[in-house]
């Protein structure tokens, strides 16, 4: 996206990529963590339900965040680019005051086409750079990265034309994020996306799981699912540029780690670490 944003003013806030279908009724561990990162009882949360086709998505999250003791919630209903382009919109004032921004699930292309290059997107970028936490669930998670999986096919193995990429928000340049990962059998399309750009780290986030990327570029896993991390930086060979007509793709030298809740992953060193409660136990 062409955000025309200013350079970050601080270390940047956490990014929370949620795989979708997060627990909204019981412990609400992931949503509770988002509110805590946004300031707990002092949290001022903006909810962007633009991706959703359901009229009550924003209000439903607002009720949940109020129940989790957030101080303020504002639902920003963006239905057109004209609304997102308005530099005098009241929505921008709410964004300026936010300590946490939550982007709902739905259609990630609807998000990118309505918000890309707008004042609203620029404020979002600047707020995150200044320390606000930004979370996205499902489609909202895919949008967080510079390169976004727009759509694709299911399956365990990569194949030609299996995935289509589009620009995302660019709040992180390290990763590409796929959601509903294990539930919708999306390893193949994540591998295909990484064949196109082996520099990136792939994060495949299961439902009711979240990958929290902190200012030190450490990924922390929370929730009740796993995060599959695919590192293609040492890829020795792929025929992704040669295969046609939906044929199978070969790729050598890819490293895969599966992180359960509590595990961490260092995006700088490309190394996974176990949950601290498991450290020191015999293997």
Locate the DSSP E strands across 140-232: 147-152, 163-167, 175-178, 201-205, 209-213, 218-223, 227-231
Q: 261-283 pLDDT, tens per residue?
A: 999 999 999 999 999 865 555 44
pLDDT band at 10; cut points 50, 70, 90:
low
For residue 87, which phi and psi values (nearest 5 degrees)? -75, -10
Cα torsion 193, 198, 200, 202: sign? positive
pLDDT above 80: residue 2: no
Q: Which of these is catalytic: 52, 74, 159, 207? A: 207
Q: What is the model's pLDDT at position 281?
A: 53
Q: 158-186 pLDDT, tens per residue?
A: 999 999 999 999 999 999 999 999 999 99
Q: Strand 15-18 vs strand 209-213: parallel, antiparallel, or unpaired?
A: antiparallel
pLDDT band at 87; cut points 50, 70, 90:
confident
Whether 180 is catalytic: yes
pLDDT band at 8; cut points 50, 70, 90:
very low
Overall pTM > 0.85:
yes
Q: Which of these is catalytic: 128, 147, 180, 220? A: 180
Enter the CATH code of domain 15-264.
3.40.50.880
d(CA 255, CA 99): 36
Q: Is 265 exposed, middle or buried (0-12, 13-18, 19+ CB in 10 A)?
A: buried
d(CA 202, CA 132): 24
Whether 4 is catalytic: no
Q: 32-86 pLDDT, tens per residue?
A: 999 999 999 999 999 999 999 999 999 999 999 999 999 999 999 999 999 999 9
Whether 207 is catalytic: yes
pLDDT above 80: residue 236: yes
Q: Which of these is catalytic: 52, 99, 104, 138? A: 138
pLDDT band at 4; cut points 50, 70, 90:
very low
């Amino acid at each position: 996206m062409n955000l025309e944003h200013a350079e970050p003013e601080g270390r940047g806030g956490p990014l929370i990529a949620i795989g979708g279908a997060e627990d909204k009724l019981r412990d609400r561990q992931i949503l509770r963590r988002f509110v805590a990162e946004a300031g707990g009882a002092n949290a001022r949360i903006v909810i962007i339900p633009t991706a959703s086709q359901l009229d009550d998505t924003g209000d439903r999250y607002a009720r949940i965040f109020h129940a989790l003791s957030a101080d303020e919630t504002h639902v920003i209903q963006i239905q057109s680019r004209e609304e997102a382009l308005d530099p005098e919109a009241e929505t921008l004032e709410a964004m300026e005051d936010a300590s946490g921004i939550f982007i709902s699930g739905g259609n990630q292309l609807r998000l990118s086409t309505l918000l890309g290059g707008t004042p609203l997107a620029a404020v979002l970028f600047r707020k995150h750079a200044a320390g606000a936490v930004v979370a996205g669930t499902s489609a909202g998670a895919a949008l967080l990265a510079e390169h976004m999986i727009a759509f694709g096919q299911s399956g365990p193995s990569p194949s030609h034309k299996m995935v289509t990429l589009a620009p995302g928000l660019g709040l992180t340049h390290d990763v590409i994020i796929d959601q509903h990962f294990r539930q919708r059998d999306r390893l193949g399309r994540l591998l295909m996306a990484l064949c196109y750009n082996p520099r990136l780290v792939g994060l495949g986030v299961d439902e009711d799981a979240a990958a929290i990327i902190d200012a030190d570029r450490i990924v922390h896993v929370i929730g009740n699912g796993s995060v599959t991390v695919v590192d293609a930086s040492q890829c020795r060979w792929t025929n992704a540029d040669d295969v046609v007509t939906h044929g199978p793709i070969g790729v050598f030298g890819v490293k895969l780690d599966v992180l359960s809740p509590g595990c961490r992953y260092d995006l700088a060193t490309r190394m996974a670490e176990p949950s601290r409660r498991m450290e020191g136990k015999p293997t």
